[in-house]
């Protein structure tokens, strides 16, 4: 039984969906969920959720991490970054899992669910994917822990920073110059991914496994941008950039105020198809039928925030077909 959970990175996109799901199913009303955040304000939107406690913590402080993991039935690690320098990726994706592994071991907290990414590999071209592989290894190779890694493709849903971003861009830009237009993705719905985390939490037999979490269809990036434009009512011309232009464009975007929209490291990540290999268990192994993007995208983008709330209803219709 996992009644006492610690969620690291619970304030983020996937963590928020997971917290909602956990609270909704709260078995017998005795589940206790702690979300650790660098700033309480980052998790403010979780405050209305009963049984979720938000604590401010510095996870790089050994004493604080030890106190946080002590007495937990399981820890879910959702901490990740998409942009940064080599040392940032190393610190967040590799060092933190290493420290988490040691803290859990010392506290006797054996069960850990870790969010990695499709394409994680020590030999991958990007810092992002190499550091994700190092984080997986740090946890999976720690004897004494029962770790399950989940490797999602790109995740979509209300509040994502992928499909929604492409829709927003097209609302303002007359055309979309697109780097990595031919890169392939297999987008997975955030609710399916959150359900998968619940399933593995409930199933100790998944310990030691690395699951690939992907949707039912593969798309190129250009197709995804066009769909986002179409569903949001702002379809623009998509201009696939040749690599001679893609690299300088990505470099420029790294310097954008408010954080990069894209980086050269993202371009390197896109050299690896973000598609399930089929060599590892997927959502189906957990009894989850992946929801198509087409079942969610139009409602999510077509009418703004309110219609996004129809996500679940659409998925239920899909599931009952
Ligand atoms: N979203 C996707 O499409 C996708 C695809 C593949 C893999 N993933 C992986 O899934 C996990 C969750 O993704 P997400 O989309 O929910 O991410 P997210 O919305 O960016 O949330 C990640 C959380 O990590 C914490 N965080 C960020 N930078 C940190 C740092 N430098 N030190 C400590 N904590 C930090 C933040 O929590 P606080 O600000 O509260 O501290 C944030 O809420 C990540 O590991 C990500 O790499 C996501």
CA distance 214 to 305: 25
C-alpha of residue 187 to centroid of ligand 1, in Å: 17
Residue of 274, 243, 288 lying closest to 82 (CA atoms): 274
Q: Which of 40, 42, 78 to mutate to test the pocket of ligand 1 (most atoms within 8 A of CB)?
A: 78
Residue of 208, 111, 219 lying closest to 166 (CA atoms): 219
Question: Cβ < 6 Å from ligand 1: which residues?
Answer: 9, 11-15, 37-38, 42-43, 59, 78-81, 92, 115, 117, 152, 154-155, 162
pLDDT tens-place string over residues 32-58: 999 999 999 999 999 999 999 999 999
C-alpha of residue 320 to centroid of ligand 1, in Å: 32
pLDDT at 305 over 90: no
Helix, strand and coil percent figures for the chain, each rounded to 5? 45, 15, 35
Residue owning the nearest CA to atom 18 of ligand 1: 12
Percent residues over pLDDT 70 in the chain: 93
Residue owning the nearest CA to atom 23 of ligand 1: 9
Which H helix or E strand runs over 156? strand 155-156
Which tokens is 254 given? Answer: 């790294």
Out of 25-29, 215-219, 245-249, which region has the weakest mean confidence (pLDDT)? 25-29
C-alpha of residue 9 to centroid of ligand 1, in Å: 6
- The model carries a pTM of 0.94
pLDDT tens-place string over residues 99-127: 999 999 999 999 999 999 999 999 999 99
pLDDT at 306 over 50: no
């Amino acid at each position: 039984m996992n009644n006492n959970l610690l969620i690291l990175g619970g304030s983020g996109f996937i963590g928020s969906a997971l917290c909602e799901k956990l609270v909704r199913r709260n078995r017998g009303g005795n589940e206790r969920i702690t979300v650790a955040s660098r700033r309480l304000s980052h998790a403010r939107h979780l405050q209305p959720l009963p049984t979720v406690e938000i604590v401010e913590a510095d996870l790089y402080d050994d004493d604080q991490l030890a106190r946080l993991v002590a007495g937990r039935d399981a820890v879910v690690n959702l901490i990740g970054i998409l942009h940064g320098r080599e040392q940032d990726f190393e610190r967040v994706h590799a060092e933190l899992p290493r420290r988490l592994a040691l803290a859990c071991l010392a506290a006797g907290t054996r069960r850990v669910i870790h969010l990695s990414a499709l394409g994680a590999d020590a030999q991958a071209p990007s810092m992002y994917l190499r550091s994700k592989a190092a984080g997986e290894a740090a946890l999976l190779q720690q004897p004494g822990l029962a770790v399950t890694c989940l490797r999602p493709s790109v995740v979509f849903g209300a509040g994502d920073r992928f499909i929604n971003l492409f829709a927003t861009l097209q609302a303002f830009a007359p055309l979309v110059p697109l780097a990595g237009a031919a890169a392939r993705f297999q987008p997975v719905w955030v609710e399916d991914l959150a359900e998968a985390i619940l399933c593995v939490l409930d199933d100790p037999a998944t310990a030691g496994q690395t699951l690939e979490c992907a949707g039912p269809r593969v798309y190129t990036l250009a197709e995804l941008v066009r769909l986002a434009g179409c569903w949001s009512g702002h379809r623009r011309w998509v201009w696939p950039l040749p690599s001679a232009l893609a690299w300088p464009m990505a470099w420029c975007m790294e310097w954008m105020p408010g954080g990069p929209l894209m980086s050269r490291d993202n371009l390197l990540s896109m050299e690896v198809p973000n598609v399930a290999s089929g060599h590892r268990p997927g959502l189906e192994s957990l009894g989850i039928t992946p929801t198509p993007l087409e079942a969610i995208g139009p409602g999510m983008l077509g009418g703004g925030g309110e219609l996004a709330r129809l996500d679940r209803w659409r998925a239920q219709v899909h599931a009952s077909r």
